[in-house]
């Protein structure tokens, strides 16, 4: 085949290994042969490397080849996970729970994982239909499983799918288990080393009572039962954006007494093609456009939208002028944490060992709120799994009240060890009902928080540097910021530089260095004298770098909100120019 001569020997070797493997099905072999004859570029993209099993698992475009999500890459990942579980828990009756969302092939990949695990003697609890990721997190602990798997690619485009691994605490894997699983996955010799022929006697359905207990735990977090009953007229529009949330969110809200729930029917049907949106990401206004339109048509008070695997939720509320406003992740987190601490305080529930948790790029307003209630707060690396790690490490000694991250992921209480959009949707609606019963709105409550603590306003600038040298350019950018850090930004001197990679924080006035209580990660933070914070965090796997900007201004009245935001954003723009991020 002359066209295949354009391909490297390594790529041809990988493709031919699949063609020669007795474990690979005939259709896949025919697809590879066709690509070799007609589309060398497709062969290159499919076989130029192995799909990397990272600290969170797998994520990639679906298709044929070593660089794609398919039966065989999922099988090899699961074989590696099985090998690790059997080494960690020898001689035990090992169990793994598996859930999946609405993405194309999610059920097929979950079945594949179940077959491989059962073939290795591991009992599998598999959901009969799609379910939210947090339900899987809860199930792992409820059934005393050694691990869990969720088949999802979160809010990625429709071409993608993914594979997330959870450990026996119900949280995504952390050190040392993440590295241990990666090592075992890499040690799987190839497709022929995977045990695909499962033992059906070891594949069981998740008992219905697990979901009932999960919903009971959610109900137990609610304080404002009377206010919910008084606010039965509160109108809520909900969209699952074609994802798993439709199976749980409306039910949870209705069982708590919210009756005026209007579901966006066009998006209620699980659909891996996400046919009504460009991206199923509740952080983007376009994904919630149908919900916002319906809310305006019926005069609804608020809008909720969850992502495909239902661990993140976007919310829109009406401002003082009656206009629907999309809250960002920091604003929703502040409302949630403030409300929970207020309720705990009013009920005299504090015992002196409670805390909240957030990530280092999430608003510091959460810290201010916690301090006002004399409650501890913990900062973690970006990713809710690190908050879950704090909960695990302090379990039985301190009590987690609530927390979250700026990317729309929050949780309340310790019974779920991941961000939970089912639980968060319930609590956000509870806050709306409490506000309504007390003659205010969620927007006015947010303004009260800003008036009390100051207006914190955050923006995110994400840069993708294309080309083969994109990652190298980003590395150079970070090196420049480390070696020649700015002394002044936006007119305010840089007071503190935090380098999470070196684990040190430097006071630029005194020159004193202090150690950071964080694992090493390639993150730089510049704290200005006026309290502003700029964070730089590159991706470890793609040519992308994110800059987080957090500024603070006083707010005497909610009527000044838009003026003060405009002032802050003008300053952020100036800082972005000073850093050379924009022209």
Query: Which sequence positions are flagged as catalytic?
Result: 154
Q: Which helix (H) or strand (E) holds 240?
A: none
**What are the DSSP calls for 248-303, one per residue?**
THHHHHHHTT--EEEE-GGGTS--TT-TT-S---TTSGGGGHHHHHHHHHHT-SEE
Whole-number Å distance between alpha carbons of 493 and 486: 9
Find the DSSP H helices in 373-499: 384-394, 421-437, 442-453, 470-483
Burial class (CB in 10 A: 0-12, 13-18, 19+), 559: exposed
**Residue 155 backbone class (left: φ over 0; alpha: ψ -120 to 50; beta: rest):** alpha
- For the chain, give the number of residues: 583
Q: What is the DSSP letter of 545?
A: E
For residue 515, report the phi and psi dihedrals to the nearest 5 degrees. -85, 140
Whole-number Å distance between alpha carbons of 11 and 39: 13
Cβ(324)–Cβ(291) below 8 Å: no
Find the DSSP H helices in 89-166: 106-119, 133-142
Whole-number Å distance between alpha carbons of 153 and 395: 30
In sequence order, what are the beta bridge partners of 397? Answer: none
CA 354 to chain centre: 24
CA 53 to chain centre: 18
Taking Cα atoms as reference points, which of 422, 443, 418 lies closest to residue 431? 443
Q: What is the DSSP letter of 321?
A: T
Whole-number Å distance between alpha carbons of 126 and 132: 13
Whole-number Å distance between alpha carbons of 241 and 267: 5
For residue 284, report the phi and psi dihedrals to the nearest 5 degrees. -100, 130
Whole-number Å distance between alpha carbons of 343 and 401: 11
> What sign results for the dihedral spanned by CA atoms 421, 424, 428, 433?
positive
Cβ(420)–Cβ(413) below 8 Å: no
């Amino acid at each position: 085949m002359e066209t295949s001569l354009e391909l490297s020997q390594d790529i041809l070797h990988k493709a031919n290994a699949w063609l020669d493997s007795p474990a690979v099905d005939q259709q896949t072999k025919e697809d590879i042969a066709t690509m070799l004859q007609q589309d060398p570029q497709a062969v290159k993209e499919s076989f130029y490397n192995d799909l990397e099993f990272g600290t969170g698992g797998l994520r990639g475009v679906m298709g044929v080849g070593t660089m794609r999500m398919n039966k065989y890459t999922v099988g090899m990942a699961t074989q590696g996970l099985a090998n690790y579980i059997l080494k960690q828990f020898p001689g035990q009756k090992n169990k793994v729970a598996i859930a999946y969302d609405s993405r194309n092939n999610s059920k097929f990949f979950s079945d594949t994982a179940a077959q491989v695990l059962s073939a290795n003697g591991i009992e599998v609890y598999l959901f009969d239909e799609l379910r939210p990721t947090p339900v899987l997190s809860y199930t792992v602990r409820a059934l005393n499983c050694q691990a869990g798997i969720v088949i999802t690619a979160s809010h990625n485009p429709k071409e993608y799918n993914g594979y997330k691994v959870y450990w026996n605490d119900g949280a995504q894997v952390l050190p040392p288990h993440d590295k241990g699983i990666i090592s075992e996955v890499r040690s799987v010799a190839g497709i022929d080393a995977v045990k695909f022929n499962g033992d059906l006697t070891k594949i069981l359905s998740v008992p219905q009572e697990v979901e009932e207990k999960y919903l009971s735990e959610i109900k137990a977090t609610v304080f404002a039962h009377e206010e919910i009953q008084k606010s039965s007229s509160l109108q809520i529009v909900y969209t699952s954006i074609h994802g798993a949330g439709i199976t749980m969110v409306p039910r949870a809200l209705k069982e708590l007494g919210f009756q005026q729930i209007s579901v966006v029917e066009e998006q209620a049907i699980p659909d891996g093609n996400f046919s009504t949106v460009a991206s199923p990401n509740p952080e983007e206004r376009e994904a919630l456009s149908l919900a916002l339109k319906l809310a305006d048509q019926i005069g609804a008070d608020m809008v909720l939208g969850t992502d495909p695997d239902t661990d993140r939720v976007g919310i829109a509320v009406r401002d003082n002028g009656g206009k629907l406003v999309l809250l960002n992740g920091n604003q929703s987190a502040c409302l949630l944490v403030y409300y929970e601490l207020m309720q705990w305080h009013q009920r005299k529930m504090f015992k002196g060992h409670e805390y909240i948790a957030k990530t280092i790029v999430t608003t510091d307003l959460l810290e201010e709120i916690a301090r006002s209630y004399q409650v501890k707060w913990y900062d973690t690396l970006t990713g809710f799994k690190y908050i879950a790690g704090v909960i695990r490490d302090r379990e039985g000694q301190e009590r987690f009240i609530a927390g979250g991250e700026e990317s729309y992921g929050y949780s309340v209480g310790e019974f779920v060890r991941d961000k939970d959009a089912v639980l968060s949707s319930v609590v956000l609606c509870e806050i709306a009902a409490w506000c309504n019963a007390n003659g205010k709105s969620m927007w006015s409550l947010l303004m009260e928080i800003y008036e009390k603590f100051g207006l914190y306003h955050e923006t995110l600038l994400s840069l993708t540097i294309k080309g083969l040298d994109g990652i190298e350019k980003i590395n150079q950018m970070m090196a420049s910021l480390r070696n020649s850090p700015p002394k002044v930004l936006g007119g305010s001197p840089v007071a503190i530089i935090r380098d999470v990679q070196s684990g040190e924080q430097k006071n630029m006035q005194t020159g004193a260095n202090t150690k950071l209580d964080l694992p090493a990660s390639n993150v730089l933070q510049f704290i200005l004298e006026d309290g502003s914070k700029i964070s730089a965090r590159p991706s470890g796997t793609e040519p992308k770098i994110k800059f987080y900007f957090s500024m603070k201004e006083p707010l005497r009245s909610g009527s000044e909100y838009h003026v003060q935001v405009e002032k802050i954003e003008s300053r952020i723009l100036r800082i972005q120019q000073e850093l050379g991020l924009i022209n």
